[in-house]
Amino acid sequence: QNLQELRKFLGLTNYFRKFIKQYSVLAPPLTNLTRKGAFISLESWTSECQQAFEELKRVVADDITLAFPDHSLPFLVELFSDASIYGSGAVLLQEGRPIAFTSKKFSGAETRYTTGEQELLAVIHALKEWRCYLEGRPFTLKTDHKPLTFLQSVPTLNRRQARWMEFLARFDCVWEHIAGRINIADALSRHPSLHAAILAAPVLRPRSTESPLSVDLAKRLKTAYASDPWFATPENVESLRRQNGLWLQTEGSVTRIVVPNDNVLRRDILACFHEDPLAGHPGSTRLVELVRRSFWWPRLVTDAENFVRTCSSCQRNKALSGKGRGLLQPLPVPDAPWESVSMDFVVALPKTEG
């Protein structure tokens, strides 16, 4: 489809060129297109290029012979692994010769893993596939995802990562980072046609938009304006303008509704942008960005932080991203009854009827 995909293909075949007979004779129609200005469009792709492309695919698939692992020599294995959003791939090498290839398509749940977890899953799949070669022997594990090389020093792990780390502890491996552009396993996990299909998908434009200001909210704003003495002072509203009974603030090309000093009203506005099914319970920074598109009031940032901090759904479901709190410390043993009293709050209980 483009020059970048051509270079990826040539990078894969060039790695195994010492195992391909007359590689320098087969590849020139394609390598010539990588020169500056040679690959202008798909019209540059001639029948000679297509023939060279098909022949290189054939020899890579048929003529590359898998080598037997030599157990009499120091067993140095290089394991290249890589993951894309569609699946993972790896190749097992010994002294530059391929011993085995493997690839695996991600399941629906696995496609929603983070990038780091997908890269680690690629390693786990490869080690399970080649456990008979690698278990009990030292080898090198090369990946183009650099954070994996610091996996042993991560202070906190979730349950899935802890389970994978327990499996990795069975292997004697040394992690090494390799640049993605020279990682030959990329070709096993990435499918260029899928990327092209995504880019070629039509973009649907919205035909209508829904205003964030409902009729009920507009009435509540007008009522709150009347009870807020701040808006009765001319100096305060000098930089504002009034339209349809609402006070507006204009900053550049953005016009926002000024919300009066009504804690219940402000909290309801924050709830609209935070608890809506399509909002996804954003954090305080994202919540402020969403609210500021339509509304403004003093201390909006502080109110948003307090709202997110007291959201029961966020506290129950969102993982802590900060530093661990440390080990629990025992309390001093009291000498007499009622000398030390502890208490906690029970929150988010269902509402009673009646």
Q: How do the domains of the chain map onto residue ranges? A: 3-62, 77-196, 215-315
Specify the pLDDT at position 56.
84
The one-character DSSP state at 136 is: T
Provide the 3-class DSSP secondary structure of residue 275. coil
CATH 1.10.340.70 given to domain 215-315: yes
Q: CB 279: neighbour CB atoms within 10 A?
A: 14
Specify the pLDDT at position 332.
86
* Regions of the chain where pLDDT drops below 50: 76, 79-81, 185, 188-189, 191, 193-201, 207-211
Give bridge partners of residue 102 from the DSSP assignment.
90
Task: Say how far apart CA 223 and CA 35 lie, in whole Å.
Answer: 70
The CATH number of 77-196 is 3.30.420.10
Task: Say how far apart CA 306 and CA 283 lie, in whole Å.
Answer: 11
Give bridge partners of residue 250 from the DSSP assignment.
255
pTM over 0.95: no
Specify the pLDDT at position 126.
86
Tokens of 211: 């205003």
